[in-house]
Amino acid sequence: MKAILRFVALTSGVAVFSATVVAAPLDGWSVDLDKAFQRAKAENKSVLVEFTGTDWCPPCVTMRTNVFSKKEFVAAAAKKFILVELDVPKGDQALQKKNSPLAEKYKITRFPTVILFTAKGKEFARFFASAYPKVDDFLNHLDATLKTAAP
């Protein structure tokens, strides 16, 4: 994780700082949606995009800890999907500026939201990640969604 220190106040000659922790990208996950679509086309896979707020959203942190960071999840999901994490943190203005327009484009109103896309960028499913808080539950939902909703 990377910590961002922000100057908060100067009181009686003493500088007071606060720390905001912004999570580093997860192993096996991309943070670039355009490159993910290029890779998906080359590998004939779908794209799983998770919109998250790693430094302010408790359900996002829970999902990251319990599902998305688990090697067994990444290994299984990566067989069918290119995984993309789009973080919209409050403590990293550059990352927020990069990903907020994508959250707006895809009309993300709650976090963590997952959108599944074809390799060509067509959305075929959307759901709240926290509805599937365990690796097996999440993977089962992905399999069921691919069987019923995938083009």
Q: Domain residue spans in the chain?
A: 25-149
- Cα separation, 106 vs 100, in Å, equals 10
Name the CATH superfamily housing domain 25-149: Glutaredoxin (3.40.30.10)
61 exposed, middle or buried (CB, 10 Å; 0-12, 13-18, 19+)? middle
**End-to-end C-alpha distance for the chain, whole angstroms:** 37
pTM (2 d.p.): 0.85
**Per residue in 79-112, pLDDT tens?**
999 999 999 999 999 999 999 999 999 999 999 9
φ and ψ at residue 87, rounded to 5 degrees: -90, 135
Residue 24 pLDDT class (50, 70, 90 cuts): confident
- Cα separation, 147 vs 86, in Å, equals 25
